[in-house]
């Protein structure tokens, strides 16, 4: 059974810092990996989707990398802003029809 772990569980940093969120998964036979953002009391917003044949994806200040062989992904946030404060969820997509397997998330606070 696929298991996804996100480290750290919580992170608080001053505004302007660059930061890295980590995601690891136990079964490397994945198709894709998707990073989401969740604001308090809200739904999930897709940030980046990395296909298994790709090693990274970039969107603005966000960069996500994927190393299937080691079962790891990182989400890099450059020049953090208070508006980046949210919970970040990592999810892997396996070969079956049964959807995403999620980590528990990293709760990020950016201090003004």
Partner 1 sequence: NAGVTQTPKFRILKIGQSMTLQCTQDMNHNYMYWYRQDPGMGLKLIYYSVGAGITDKGEVPNGYNVSRSTTEDFPLRLELAAPSQTSVYFCASSPLGNSNYGYTFGSGTRLTVV
Closest CB 17 distance from partner 1, rounded Å: 25
Q: What is d(CA 28, CA 14) in angstroms, rounded to the nearest whole number?
A: 34
Q: In the chain, how many H helices and how many E strands?
A: 0, 11
Binding site for partner 1 (CB under 8 A): 4, 31-32, 34, 36, 41-46, 49, 51, 89, 91, 93-100, 102-105
Name which of 15 and 56 has its Cβ closer to partner 1.
56
Name which of 98 and 112 has its Cβ closer to partner 1.
98
Q: What is d(CA 112, CA 65) in angstroms, rounded to the nearest whole number?
A: 27
Q: Are 49 and 36 in contact (CB under 8 A)?
A: no
Name which of 21 and 93 has its Cβ closer to partner 1.
93
Name which of 15 and 62 has its Cβ closer to partner 1.
62
Between the alpha carbon of residue 27 and those of residues 22, 24, 52, 63, 68, the distances in Å are 16, 9, 13, 23, 9
């Amino acid at each position: 059974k696929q298991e996804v772990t996100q480290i750290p569980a919580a992170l608080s940093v001053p505004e302007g810092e660059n930061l890295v969120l980590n995601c690891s998964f136990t079964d490397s036979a994945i198709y894709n990996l998707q990073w989401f953002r969740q604001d308090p009391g809200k739904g999930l917003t897709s940030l980046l989707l990395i296909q298994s044949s790709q090693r990274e994806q970039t969107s603005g200040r966000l960069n996500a990398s994927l190393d299937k062989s080691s079962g790891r992904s990182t989400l890099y946030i450059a020049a953090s802003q208070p508006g980046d404060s949210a919970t970040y969820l990592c999810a892997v997509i396996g070969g079956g029809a049964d959807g995403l397997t999620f980590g528990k998330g990293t709760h990020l606070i950016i201090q003004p």
